A = this chain, B = another copy of it.
């Protein structure tokens, strides 16, 4: 670990702007009118994690952004001052409690700042996917009613002609950067009143974020999460992945995706150091894995991490915790990551989805289940997880510690959903149902602002769910079979595309596979491999689930979060 920024070569050479340097004697408390709130109540608010880190470990490196022309490095004390500056700057620009502030940026210090500063200003962060079309961005800006836009210099084209103030960040950390000038203006506006000049949010159920789906099917839909929910979900994420002050978190998951699954706050909770990289380039990821002491990352099941030519098994002294979700990882992928000493914590969650039988959408602050059955002590270090272990690890598992049970249910009674009776499926690993969860932490279904139908505030029994077909194993863990819309009807049977993919991906020559329902048969290509794969399928899959044709491609079309774009494939298949 002598190369890279950890030798403080780059870090030591970097100077934060003068306005980033905190004065002496900082008080890390918000102003609170104690007469309005009993002394035994301080509302849950994830901003407190950063203030606490800045108080207890002020000189620890909080955030490193090394791979840009002007790298930047901030300690917790300096970072907290920058966050405070941004909060004041937003207030100076008229941001009121509850207002939405849009952020359009790749992983970089600015969007990390925004996750803390916007809630410090009692406003609501609205992160926007940088890969959306301008049309979708326009829709979200309008729909969210965002009052100010923070935008990275590479995505200014997405906010042309915006009706509200736009502040551009050139991602340089230098005094002439417009974003740094914004922070400097906040510092001046604060008149050094510090944190005590900012009001504590008294209502822990106030909104923290407003996140939108990527809108692959229709308009993006938005979901509001709360401070309390974000606080508790962040704690659960840090605990479940064993993050602590010795951890170094690499940002592969885009922070704009469901607020980075609450990791912006989980990292400060744990006093961990974070590294931001602007794109999930596999070579750059491996550079940091090898040289920067990375201990944790979150990501979709990225096969590119395995196929990178820089991929290699880590030293004996190290391993990495990879928190994988976004799409169901195959057991094959899990096994290959384990061989590199990248230990998979398979989690599952959703930003917004619809239970098939209900007009209900939900969000779970990123992950809310994890697979608990990895027999950590029994892993053969030379081989990674045994075959069976990888299969078990591919299950979605059990609800997080701050969540209630994740149930698998079916609708026992037809008719008005209000009166629908949901029954749990038996734990037989066969009977299929849909997943429903209940918030133990007010972190489910806090608000849906994009669904026009009248919404019910209460449900007969449960609650939230996703159109996902799954079952519960005898050990109580849940296992996703498929999204209901991806089911393949074949010979009168429901074939799960996911389980077909799971099996085919175990073939040693298959890097990734996606299975799609189609009556078309494309012209023969890669005939030998097709034959081989069909033979393999005949050994591992029942007749109705075997592929009728195989297409070998260089790359699969994917969303920014690593999900295969099945509807694109459908289009391609139709044209074959």
Contact = CB atoms under 8 A, between A and B. Distances in A.
A253 to B, nearest CB: 22
A34 B441 contact: no
B34 A458 contact: yes
A57 interface: yes
A444 B40 contact: yes
Interface string A459-473: 111111000000000
A368 interface: no
Interface string A137-153: 00000000000000000
A40 to B, nearest CB: 5
B404 A39 contact: no
Question: Which of A34, A49, A462 is packed against the most chain B CB atoms within 10 Å?
Answer: A34
A73 interface: no
Contact of A38 (B42, B401, B458): B458
A392 B380 CA distance: 41
Interface residues of A, number: 57
A113 interface: no
Given A29-B404, A439-B39, A445-B39, A459 B34 contact: yes
Contact of A42 (B398, B427, B440, B464): B440
A378 to B, nearest CB: 13
A213 B246 CA distance: 38
Give the number of times this chain occurs in the complex, counting copies: 2
A27 interface: yes
A405 interface: yes
Interface in A1-45: 25, 27-29, 34-35, 37-42, 44
A261 interface: no
Nearest to A239: B239
A435 interface: no
A49 B37 CA distance: 29
Given A29-B405, A34-B458, A398-B55, A39 B441 contact: no
B398 A439 contact: no
A462 B34 contact: yes
Tell which of A35, A41, A242 has the most Cβ of chain B within 10 Å.
A41
A498 interface: no
Given A40-B445, A44-B441, 9 more contacts: A34-B459, A38-B458, A39-B438, A39-B462, A42-B404, A42-B439, A44-B440, A235-B239, A238-B239
Interface of A: 25, 27-29, 34-35, 37-42, 44, 48-49, 52, 55-58, 229, 235, 238-239, 242, 244, 246, 269, 372, 377, 398-399, 401-402, 404-405, 424, 426-427, 438-446, 457-464, 476
25 contacts: A25-B426, A34-B458, A34-B459, A34-B461, A34-B463, A35-B458, A38-B458, A39-B439, A39-B459, A39-B462, A39-B463, A39-B464, A40-B439, A40-B443, A41-B439, A42-B439, A42-B441, A42-B442, A48-B440, A55-B476, A56-B476, A235-B235, A235-B402, A242-B242, A246-B377
